[in-house]
């Protein structure tokens, strides 16, 4: 836990969030400023600053993230229609919260390429 980290505080329950999934490795909660009808954030409980800081020790975690993304999308009813999992990494990637997270977006036709 990083004392000054927003997502560590959500993981610790110190800041409220609408949580849809919770296990020993990660939580999934609603993005406060949704960019699609379904916009969840998949957040590892371990503080990792960005995707650049991932190590081989995190391989299982990253695989688990995609399994949970598919499960949550299925449970919420938008898996068959389709969804997108996005990690914004560092400045050019558009990262603003410095605790790794994966956006799970669905519920509308998403355009490509992204802005
Ligand atoms: P990123 O640009 O990938 O770092 O995305 C950070 C995301 O966190 C944005 O989509 C924000 O809307 C979202 N966010 C910021 N604060 C909160 C919060 N307190 N609860 C839920 N989502 C948040
Ligand atoms: Zn953190």
Smallest-distance ligand from the CA of 9: 2
Strands (E), the chain: 19-22, 26-30, 38-44, 83-86, 102-106
Question: Per residue of the chain (115 residues), what is the pLDDT tens digit?
Answer: 888 999 999 999 999 999 999 999 999 999 999 999 999 999 999 999 999 999 999 999 999 999 999 999 999 999 999 999 999 999 999 999 999 999 999 999 999 999 8
- For ligand 1, mutation pick of 96, 101, 103, 104 (most atoms within 8 Å of CB): 96
pTM of the predicted model as reported, rounded to 2 decimal places: 0.98
Task: Report the catalytic residues.
Answer: 101
Fold designation for 6-106: HIT family, subunit A (3.30.428)
User: Is the CB–ligand 1 distance for residue 97 below 6 Å?
Assistant: yes
Which helix (H) or strand (E) segment holds residue 63: the answer is helix 59-75
Domain ranges of the chain: 6-106
CB 103 within 8 A of CB 31: yes
Whole-number pLDDT of residue 11: 98
User: Is the CB–ligand 1 distance for residue 91 below 6 Å?
Assistant: no
- Residue 72: is it exposed, middle or buried by C-beta count within 10 angstroms (0-12/13-18/19+)? buried
């Amino acid at each position: 836990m990083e004392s000054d980290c927003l997502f560590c505080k959500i993981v610790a329950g110190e800041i409220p969030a609408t949580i849809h999934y919770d296990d020993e490795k990660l939580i999934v909660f609603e993005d406060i400023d949704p960019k699609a009808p379904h916009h969840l954030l998949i957040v590892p409980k371990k503080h990792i600053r960005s995707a650049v800081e991932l190590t081989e020790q995190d391989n299982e975690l990253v695989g688990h993230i995609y399994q949970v993304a598919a499960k949550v999308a299925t449970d919420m009813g938008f898996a068959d229609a389709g969804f997108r999992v996005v990690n914004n990494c560092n400045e050019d990637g558009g990262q603003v919260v410095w605790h790794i997270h994966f956006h799970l977006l669905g519920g509308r036709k998403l355009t490509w390429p992204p802005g």
